[in-house]
Chains A and B, each alone.
Chain A
Amino acid sequence: MIARQRHRADEARYAAPWVGGYRRYDLVKEFVVALGVMLLLTVGLAIAFSSPDHKAISLRDWATAAPNDFVVTAVAELDGTSGTATYGAPYADDPSAGQKLGPVPLQRYGGVREPVDTARDFVLAPLGTVTGDADLTSALSQYNAASTDQQQNWATAYGDALDKAPDNDPGKVPDGDYGPVPVLTGKLLDLARSGGLDGQLLSSGGFYQTDYTRPLLFLADGSYLEDQARAEHLGGDQWGMMNETGSYPGQAWLWLYTFWYQVPPFSSSDNADALVWALMMVLSLVLILVPFIPGLRSLPRHLGVHRLIWRDHYRTHRPPPR
């Protein structure tokens, strides 16, 4: 009770009109000078260091530079083992998938609002638009006519064989019961190399396109994008997305968010994103509510940095005891 009364008395005292001395202070002049200084600094830094603009990777680039990785990814989209296929909400309805915060499946609560069928959307539908290729037409017919189990068996067998092949090279896969899967993934590789797949994955039925969800998901399912990112020190365990390509400060203000991913238990948790986000929400709330949190709101008085800030004032006024 005494602490509360003392807090109220302090609040009234600090809210009261200042009855001490004043000094001239031209706020407009201060702003103009500040603007000039910041403008000079901005122009100087822009001239000296420019800005990064590492070209985006197209599906064509990926298929050309890392064809084996592309084919492995395409097979994973067909047999349902890719990152997107096993992601859960918001891309697929899978009760066993998705991150949880303790017992709470927050990810699942969001619902499937961006449905993606990886086999259909990333492989079969784009191939279905290709005309004049008898081998492809035949392979598609055979695949579509087969049962779901048969399709799965073909894709799984081919995926296993690719894993065992040197460099995952489709050309070094031994003969096996893969059905039409090698033809389908080979034709998808051809389509991607021609640049046709970039447009196919982007298309959502309209002329104008602004949503890159599908091509980015497909690209991220492969290893090529991450390999390029790691080469640019952008991996998740390299303080990830707060950095940017080249030697630039990036989003340094995300350091605390990125920090948690580097340390246990977050660094080894399957629910790391949910845990880190929950923690950052709590910390953000604490930051906003500092004035209302007893103890924390009194901390600056005890830290004593204010004595340095107001050292001129305290030359003539008695500072408070710590």
Chain B
Amino acid sequence: MSAPTGNRMWTARLRNRAVAALPPEQLLPDRQPAYVSSWIYVFGVLTLAALLIVLTSGAVLALEGPQWYHGSPVGHFVNSLHLWSVELFFFTMVIHLWGKFFMAAWRGKRALTWVTGAVAFLGSIATAFTGYLVQSNFDSQWISTQAKDGLNSVGVGAWFNVLNYGQMLLFHVVLFPLVLGVLVVWHVLLVRRRGVVPPFADREQADPEPEPGAPQPSTVEVGS
């Protein structure tokens, strides 16, 4: 019995499609269009960096258990790292979001990039909210007893029971981060696949004019 050859295997076809959609030079290019020249572009990667710190500090908190930070100075410091990385994550993400809005970054078949980013933003709010619920302190008590009214008022409070510590802990450390992780990876891959949105062009100009003396690419690298 001979082994199935090359491209007949579904795994090979899947791999070929993945490489075709995101060739390595497009996934991690060493150059960007010349218009990518503003501080606003930094806030996307700052958001990703803050998210990595959020996940790492959260993982350390998870290693020691939910009560650790109440009684240990080290635990309290790690909790502070977790809190401030979340604050920075949202700060940079909101600037990134506004920046992309002002650029109308959904232009040129990039709508799904915007949609995944917007859903990730809303998912981040839900994830952070459950974090406040599982601090097991006064803030958790007050926020949960207040928030239950909103969720109950639209009939979902029994499934998303903010008073159920166990459920909220699992939502916060497993369910929501998993969904958020998928959304963020999807969003970043779409950014790489579709490229960075070009500036608004004058409609009377047929094509974007190359800058004087700028090198002309021989192959398509971004924006395809």
Q: Provide the bound-state CA to CA distance between A292 and B104, in Å.
A: 12
Please tell me the number of chain A residues within 8 Å of chain B, measured between CB atoms.
111
With A31-B45, A42-B85, A43-B81 already in contact, the answer to whether A23 and B36 are too (CB < 8 A) is yes
Q: List 6 A-B contacts (CB under 8 A).
A: A21-B33, A46-B81, A51-B76, A111-B158, A210-B169, A309-B103
Interface residues of A (CB under 8 A from B): 6, 9-11, 13-28, 30-31, 34-35, 37-39, 41-43, 45-46, 49-57, 87, 89-90, 98-99, 101, 106-111, 113-114, 210-213, 216-217, 219-220, 225, 228-229, 232, 234, 236, 240-241, 244-245, 248-249, 251-254, 271, 273-274, 276-278, 284, 287-292, 297-298, 300-301, 303, 305-306, 309-314, 316-321
Residues of B within 8 A of A211 (CB): 161, 163-167
Shortest Cβ distance from residue B207 to the other chain A in the assembled complex, whole angstroms:
6
Q: Which of A46, A50, A89 has the most CB of B within 10 A?
A: A46
The smallest C-beta distance from A6 to any residue of chain B, in angstroms, reads: 8
Is there contact, CB below 8 Å, between B114 and A21? no
Residues of B within 8 A of A309 (CB): 38, 40, 99, 102-103
Asked if residues A11 and B109 are in contact (CB atoms below 8 Å), the reply is: yes
**How many residues of chain B are within 8 Å of chain A by beta carbon?**
113
- Contact yes or no, A22 B32, CB < 8 A: yes
CB distance from A268 to the nearest CB of B (A): 16
Note all chain A residues with C-beta closer than 8 A to B146: 236, 240-241
Report whether over half of chain A's contact residues are helix, strand or loop; otherwise say mixed: helix
B184 contacts the other chain (CB 8 A): no
Q: Is B9 an interface residue (CB 8 A)?
A: no
Which residues of A are found within 8 Å of B119, using beta-carbon distances?
288
CB distance from B149 to the nearest CB of A (A): 5
- Residue pair B142, A225 in contact (C-beta under 8 Å): yes
| Contact between A290 and B114, CB atoms less than 8 A apart | yes
Q: B157 in the interface, Cβ–Cβ < 8 Å? A: yes
Q: Which of B14-22, B172-180, B195-203 contacts A (4 or more CB under 8 A)?
A: B195-203
Determine whether the beta carbon of B30 is less than 8 Å from that of A252.
no
CB pair B80–A49 under 8 Å, yes or no, is yes
Q: Which residue of A lies closest to B37 (CB)?
A: A312
Using Cβ atoms and an 8 Å threshold, which residues of chain B touch A213? 161, 163-164
Is B59 an interface residue when CB atoms closer than 8 A count as contact?
no
Q: Identify which of B40, B111, B114, B155 gathers the most chain A CB atoms within 10 Å of its CB.
A: B155
Asked if B182 is an interface residue, CB under 8 A from chain A, the answer is: no
Determine if A253 and B94 form an interchain contact, defined as CB atoms under 8 angstroms apart. yes
B50 at the interface (CB under 8 A from A): yes
Partner of B108, one of A13, A114, A241, A287: A13
Asked whether any CB of chain A lies closer than 8 Å to the CB of B189, the reply is no
Q: Given A56-B137, A312-B37, answer yes or no on A251-B129 (Cβ-Cβ < 8 Å).
A: yes
Closest 5 pairs (CB-CB, A-B): A21-B214, A210-B166, A14-B108, A110-B155, A113-B158
A21 touches B34 (CB 8 A): yes
Chain A min CB distance to B2 (Å): 42
Known: A10-B107, A23-B32. 4 other contacts (CB 8 A): A17-B224, A20-B33, A229-B142, A252-B90
